[in-house]
Structure 1
Amino acid sequence: MGYAYYEITRNSATIQAGYGVEAVCERVGCTEKIDRGLGYLCGRTPGGDEHSCGGYFCGQHLYGDNQCEACTETDEEAA
């Protein structure tokens, strides 16, 4: 499987992902152009898991262990 284009299920919807898929940061109000590659992924699992939402964010909106603000706060509260 290549990582340029593939499909994932996130929030009960199927979306295209991969570094070949152009996108915009999912942070409300941010218009930074990104792709849906692993470098912009919140967490490590496309589609999300128990530690991340699986959204795609620009470098300015990924924190800590490559997580968005909401997932970083959730992990800190659980610790």
Structure 2
Amino acid sequence: MGYAYYEIIRNGEKIEAGYGVEAVCEKADCTEKIDRGLGYLCGKTPGGDEHGCGGYFCGEHLTYDNQCEACAKVADEAA
């Protein structure tokens, strides 16, 4: 399977993903252009997992551990 384009199920909805899919950061009010590749993914698995929500965020809204601000807060509280 290539990672330029594929479909995933996230929150019960089918979405297009991959580094060939143009998108905008999912942080409210952010208009940064990104793609839906693994480099912009919150977590480790497209669609979401125990490490993140599976959303796609620009570099400003991802932590060093590839989590969005909300998922990083939950992880910090669990530690």
Query: Above 0.5 in TM-score?
Result: yes
| Structure 1 residue ranges without an equivalent (≥5) | none
Instruction: Confirm or deny that 1:77 pairs with 2:60.
Output: no
Question: Are 1:13 and 2:13 counterparts?
Answer: yes
Are the counterparts in 2 of residues 20 and 37 from structure 1 also a CA contact under 8 Å? yes
Q: Distance in 2 between matches of 1:35 and 1:50?
A: 22
Secondary structure of 1:34's counterpart equals strand
Aligned-pair identity (%)? 77
In 1, the alpha carbon distance for the partners of 2:75 and 2:64 equals 10
Distance of 1:35 and 1:51 partners within structure 2: 20
Q: Residue 57 of structure 2 aligns with which residue?
A: 57
Which letter does structure 1 place at the counterpart of 2:14? T
Normalised by the length of structure 1, the TM-score is: 0.97
**Partners of 2:46 and 2:56 in 1: CA distance:** 9
* C-alpha distance in 2 between matches for 1:44 and 1:65: 10
How many residues are matched? Answer: 79
Counterpart contact for 2:43–2:50, Cα < 8 Å: no
1:42 aligns with 2:9: no
RMSD: 0.6
TM-score of the superposed pair, with normalisation by structure 2: 0.97
5+ long unaligned stretches in structure 2: none
